Structure 1
Amino acid sequence: MTLTAPAGRRTGTRDADGMAVASFIVGLLGLLVMNLFLGPLAVVLASLALWRGTARKGRAVLGLSLGVADLVVLAVLVGMDHTVSWSFGG
């Protein structure tokens, strides 16, 4: 007799695993471009993945960390520029 998880559970875990990986990728990209949008998105995706019980907890935590880092980088650069947007020169 074999025990298998219901089909809905496997799909939910797979979705949570996808969210964990997506949060990592979005958080990493957010360090380079559009950190105002990608940072919070990474935080939300990572939080949802952790809440749904992802098997990739490390990626979700890293995505969460990168999302927070995106927002910190944005705050520092905006503070240096004294404007709502920032740029690397000029």
Structure 2
Amino acid sequence: MDLTAPVGRRDTDGMAVASFVLGLLGLLVLNVVLGPIAIVLASLALWRGTSRRGRALFGLGLGVADLVVLAALMSADGTVSWSVAP
């Protein structure tokens, strides 16, 4: 991490990394919550001009993928909750 960067830039870089991590976690658990949070954080990081643009875009994509997975699972069994067990 660049400690000489302005605080605002470090905040946006943190948002980009957080969106990536939350989007990745959202594929496994709590995609109804973590997906939208990842999308919002990635959008804010991109809007504020993060230096980690690729990480923010990847977080945005993972957040959208979380919601797609949720929609697919909801259509498969008709509920918001799902499990892997038969």
TM-score > 0.5, shorter chain as reference: yes
> Which of the two has higher C-alpha Rg?
1
Structure 2 unaligned regions, length at least 5 = none
Q: 1:82 aligns with which of 71, 78, 82?
A: 78
Write the distance in 1 (CA, Å) between the matches of 2:15 and 2:25. Answer: 15
Which portions of structure 1, spanning 4 or more consecutive aligned residues, are displaced by more than 4 angstroms? none
Name the counterpart of 1:29.
Answer: 25
Distance in 2 of aligned mates of 1:10 and 1:36 = 33
Percent identity over the alignment is 69
Give the TM-score normalised by structure 2: 0.91
| Paired residue total | 83
